[in-house]
Amino acid sequence: MRTLIFSDIHANLEAFEAVLKDAEKRQYDRMVFLGDAIGYGGSPVEVLQHLRQLGVPCIQGNHESNLIRLTRNQQLLINAPAQLALKWQLDQLSEADLLMINTWGKTLRLDTQNSRFTDLLCVHGSPSNPDKYLDSTSHAREEFTLWDGRVCFYGHTHVPMIYSTLEGPVGEWVKSAPMKGNARAVMPPKARWMLNPGSVGQPRDGDPRASYGVFDDANAVFEVFRVEYDFQAAGRKIINAGLPSGLADRLIIGR
């Protein structure tokens, strides 16, 4: 089964629609979204509408959890520009939007067609913590110790990446493999993988193109695809909403 994996749209409708159009070429069987539909961008309502219409299983990201905190007058756990964006977005969202976000869980498990692993774990941050940035081999090593599965999809860092375990002479060792551009990797027979498809709406690896992934569980193959989109239009929506210009600028440089 081929699973389309995407994460961190961040209210960027132009990037999301470009990904959906490009994904039509990939012959996937199902979708999963790893969280952060909202935050930063200028089209939160339209992005949530697309997710609702697609019926895609969704995970709650840290921006969704902070939106819920905002509705409860609790302290926000994100930076100042992100707080400004979230407060503006809350005024745009309907009660139905908020109810939908509240139904999203912190993890999902998907069945597979490969006897090497019984299921695929889907998280936003890491297997142990939905808010953790899995952005180094030391963090990955810790997560592989805490989690005993074979394949995990994660987001949050906005950087397409594979962390894998390999058998060494004195036990497992951990390797990182950034996925640059359109990239493909085959899972070694005894490896364990944590896979990041990158960010749809706010890439941070120096490539401004939208990013998403496809995992073929029957053949244990992970692919990342990059897609051009109109980042200037997305940036104008941010500016027109009165949000910090830096949120628009970073779309241009992919950082």
For the chain (length 255 residues), average pLDDT per consecutive 10? 98 99 96 98 99 98 98 95 98 98 97 82 97 95 93 98 79 85 93 97 98 96 98 98 97 95
The reply to whether the predicted model has a pTM over 0.85 is yes
The pLDDT, as a whole number, for residue 181 is: 96
* Residue located via tokens 């600028």: 249
The pLDDT, as a whole number, for residue 190 is: 84
Structural domain boundaries, residue 91: 2-253
CATH number for the domain harbouring residue 13: 3.60.21.10
Burial track 182-220 (b if 16+ CB lie within 10 A, e otherwise): ebebebeeebbbbbbbbbbbbbbbebbbbbbbbbbbeeb
The pLDDT, as a whole number, for residue 196 is: 99
* Residue located via tokens 């996925």: 179
Strands (E), 88-188: 107-111, 119-123, 151-153, 161-168, 171-178, 183-186
The number of domains in the chain is 1
The pLDDT, as a whole number, for residue 171 is: 57
Return the SS3 of 187.
coil
Task: Identify any residues that bridge with 193 across adjacent strands, giving them in sequence order.
Answer: 151, 164
The pLDDT, as a whole number, for residue 166 is: 80
